[in-house]
Structure 1
Amino acid sequence: MPEAIYEGIKKANIDFICSVPCAKFKKLLELIENDEDIKHIPVTREEEAFGICAGAYLTGKRTAIIMQNSGLGNSINAIGSLYKIYQIPTLLIISHRGLLKEEIPAQIPMGLWTKKLLDVCEIPYFIPKTKDEAIKYIVEGSKFMEKINYPVAILFGYEYWEK
């Protein structure tokens, strides 16, 4: 299934990505790292990714952040004080942990709050359940982020990973 996400990124012409490590995205990050047309910057915290991608956007790059939903809470200030104020689009490719079949109790609070936080931040989100939907939502989400000059999130939950 990471191949479909990668295909969507390529079709969306995303050429700059920051990522925070996530086991669900391990194969995807390997594909991106080996792609000479995508500048990939691994970071240690999500708000760092938001800052770097904002700078890359200002130089003309089409950006994405690959992260786990647990990092969304870390990013609220960057979203509000940087992305909202300066109208910066970026695609958020998020592994949505903490819902059904979650084995780590610490993931559950953010799993329950993720959609609410995106709503509060006024970030539209889409939830693909199939490979075709992943490609479609990434491509359409990247177009939409440009129209609204603001982030758009694609949430990859357990329904996607189990297919």
Structure 2
Amino acid sequence: CRAVIKFHVGSDTPFWRDTGFSGQAMTDLPIAPYVVDNSPPDGSLDILLTFIGTAGSGDGLKWSDAILNDRGARRGAFLNALTTLFGPKAAHPIDYLEKDWIDEPWINGCIATQAPGVITRYTNALSEPVDRIHWAGTETGTTNGGYMDGAVRAAERAAREVRDAL
């Protein structure tokens, strides 16, 4: 379980695409270990997204408390990382949004992570009924596990299973 801060930056143009980049990056930069183009399909917004781990992130992701505890420092570090990845246009977003999930009392900042091989070996075990018990939850979703969409899909699947079993 990891506590995370989620960052979005908005741009007036998809500058990363203009230079031939997809907007997706896997990096060794601690403030932006994974970046994705989170723009909606209709092209109405141009958004890059990343998560950074905080509590329980492990030794592989290190940054100073000065960055973790200061929103402005986090913003600056994230924009510097994006500039390193995608060029100088990344330094001037038209919008910046972050969400520190540890501040949510009912979520506690956690996202699920699994050890290598767990998903491919045991995914079905999470959702297969046991006698009359049917499982539903974000981790049992066949797509988008860890997200509300995955939870809704899992609930719909479990409801169909119960209906079919009656």
TM-score normalised to the size of structure 2?
A: 0.27
TM-score (norm: length of structure 1) = 0.27
Whichever of the two has the greater Rg, that structure is 2
